[in-house]
Amino acid sequence: MTDSADNNFDLVILGGGSGGYACALRAVQLDLKVAVIEKDKLGGTCLHTGCIPTKALLHAAEVADAARDSAAVGVKTTFDGIDMKGVNGFKEAVVSRLYRGLQGMIKGAGITVYEGEGKLVGTDTVEVGGQRVTGKNVVLATGSYARTLPGLEIGGRVITSEQALELYEVPQSVVIIGGSVIGVEFASVWKSFGADVTIVEALPTLVPLEDPTLSKQLERAFRKRKIAFKTGSRFTGVEHHDDRVTVSLESGDTLDADLVLVAVGRGPRSEGFGFEDQGVTVDRGWVPTNERLATNVSGIYAVGDLVPGLQLAHRGFAHGIFVAEEIAGLKPMPVIDSGIPRVTYCDPEIASVGLTEPQAREKYGEVDTYEYNLGGNGRSQILQTAGLVKLVREKDGPIVGVHMVGARFGEQVGEASLIVNWEAFPEDVAQFVHAHPTQNEALGEASLALAGKPLHAHA
């Protein structure tokens, strides 16, 4: 795309996704000369096949539900169905607007972009399209890919999230293998679009990495929405027919569907890029780092999904910024996974930060918890949503976990993140006035209750 007078840089970044481009943008602010090598599109998974397109579909799903259910609030509409061409057009318009903006920012910042697949051929050199690009420091930011299970080959009616974003019609029925974030988000979209959805999850609950109370609440909400799920249930095989696929489970049950979405997690994308040849430790594809995101090879860092831990775009951004500042000598604070907010954008939304109750009990022994039911929240009643806010505090200590479920709770995760990361006590949060009627108020109410002075709740 762009070329530099020479191919020597302060920083060479392999991969222009969330982690890589954030690192590049921060590094140029710190007067470093930066190159990014990208084999596909700047913006990576999040912008093109992850966060943004899925959230566009979820927004269309929300509009469909609002249209379908409008009579409940006295508004007359007719819901005539989903036009996938229109939905895809909307999704693509959002993505391309952001993509154009990102390309403009990268160009405007003076970052040199090399298009093509890069390979580490020296501890300070990446080869791309026959050119050798060297950097005083190298950042590995090659991201992740959709995994599958043995016996579950992707192709035809068996798809990953990538193909799921490209459908030109709404399937009549879908089996989703995996009940974690990506699985429940697509379940939510397709149900709102009118499909019959069944989730198969090997662990005992949906969203098994969340606090058990949230899993239970989501399961209740999905039952109400008639999204079927089989938890504690293992997939054993899939049989392809012309007009459907049959999924078999360990229990002996079989499920027929138009499509099978495989959503069993994402693996690190590192094979064939020369990392091990240059002495970088690679563990089952992941690139482990210390807390300063340095690999075992001096001058080589790794960021984002490639580094074991939470796979989230904002973790990638934070990693990228951290590494740029580290290289510039600013001694930044490390990015700690337990302080990173997590949002699952299904309906109802799930938002959490910090430790779950079982994790907090393991770490602190004694803890106090409070669950504020949204039944007492005015805004939730207007939005006709059910759910709760759960706070977990170290006994007589700060709040160490916030767990929320209900409509629009993704937007509330900011305050939850401040509470946990600033180690606030419920008594501190209770001092802040929360606006009425908002979903945000539920956080205030839960804190008031945990501080021993509940308002619209019982102690």
What does 398-446 look like in DSSP terms, one character per residue? -EEEEEEEETTGGGGHHHHHHHHHTT--HHHHHHSPPPTT-STHHHHHH
For position 190 contacting ligand FAD by CB under 6 A, the verdict is no
* Binding residue for ligand FAD, selected from 7, 137, 142, 373, defined by CB under 6 A: 142
**Six-digit token string for 23:** 């690192």
- The smaller minimum CB distance to ligand FAD, of residues 16 and 348, is found at 16
Strands 196-201 and 173-177: parallel
- The smaller minimum CB distance to ligand FAD, of residues 25 and 430, is found at 25
CB of 255 to ligand FAD, least distance (A): 22
For position 295 contacting ligand FAD by CB under 6 A, the verdict is no
Size of the site for ligand FAD (CB under 6 A): 35
For position 141 contacting ligand FAD by CB under 6 A, the verdict is yes
Catalytic residues: 436
CB of 71 to ligand FAD, least distance (A): 31
For position 19 contacting ligand FAD by CB under 6 A, the verdict is yes
* Binding residue for ligand FAD, selected from 40, 65, 92, 256, defined by CB under 6 A: 40
For position 45 contacting ligand FAD by CB under 6 A, the verdict is yes
For position 269 contacting ligand FAD by CB under 6 A, the verdict is yes
- The smaller minimum CB distance to ligand FAD, of residues 271 and 362, is found at 271
* Binding residue for ligand FAD, selected from 9, 12, 38, 417, defined by CB under 6 A: 38
Alpha carbon 196 to chain centroid, angstroms: 24
For position 401 contacting ligand FAD by CB under 6 A, the verdict is no
245 closest CA partner among 160, 176, 169, 157 = 157
- For residues 392-425, one letter each, b for 16 or more C-beta atoms within 10 angstroms of the residue's C-beta and e for the rest, the string is bbbeeebbbbbbbbbbbbbebbebbbebbeeebb
Q: What is the contact mask toward ligand FAD in residues 297 to 316, using x (rule: CB under 6 A)?
A: -------xxx----xxxx-x
* Binding residue for ligand FAD, selected from 7, 10, 11, 20, defined by CB under 6 A: 20
Residue with tokens 């693509």: 92
For position 17 contacting ligand FAD by CB under 6 A, the verdict is yes
Biggest CA pair distance of the chain: 69
Residues 82-121 touching ligand FAD, rule: CB under 6 A, are 117-118
d(CA 127, CA 50): 28
CB of 53 to ligand FAD, least distance (A): 8
As beta bridge partners, residue 199 has 176, 229
CB of 309 to ligand FAD, least distance (A): 10
As beta bridge partners, residue 301 has 139, 294
SS3 state at 337: helix
For position 57 contacting ligand FAD by CB under 6 A, the verdict is no
Do residues 111 and 269 make contact, with C-beta atoms less than 8 angstroms apart?
A: no
For position 62 contacting ligand FAD by CB under 6 A, the verdict is no
CB of 312 to ligand FAD, least distance (A): 4
For position 417 contacting ligand FAD by CB under 6 A, the verdict is no
Compute how many other C-beta atoms are within 10 angstroms of the C-beta atom of residue 98.
15
Angle at CA 258, nearest 5°, toward 257 and 262? 75
- The smaller minimum CB distance to ligand FAD, of residues 58 and 450, is found at 58
- The smaller minimum CB distance to ligand FAD, of residues 17 and 444, is found at 17
CB of 266 to ligand FAD, least distance (A): 6
CB of 353 to ligand FAD, least distance (A): 13
Residues 316-375 touching ligand FAD, rule: CB under 6 A, are 316
Contacts of 444 (CB under 8 A, 6+ apart): 429, 430, 432, 433, 434
* Binding residue for ligand FAD, selected from 51, 98, 102, 209, defined by CB under 6 A: 51
d(CA 221, CA 427): 31
28 closest CA partner among 105, 104, 107, 109 = 109
Q: How many CA atoms lie within 13 A of 189 on its CB side?
A: 27
Whether omega before 308 lies within 30 degrees of 0, making that bond cis, reads: no
d(CA 184, CA 431): 36
- The smaller minimum CB distance to ligand FAD, of residues 12 and 386, is found at 12
Q: Kindly list the residues in this chain that would bind ligand FAD in the complex (CB under 6 A).
A: 14-20, 37-40, 44-46, 50-51, 54, 117-118, 141-144, 161, 182, 269, 273, 304-306, 311-314, 316
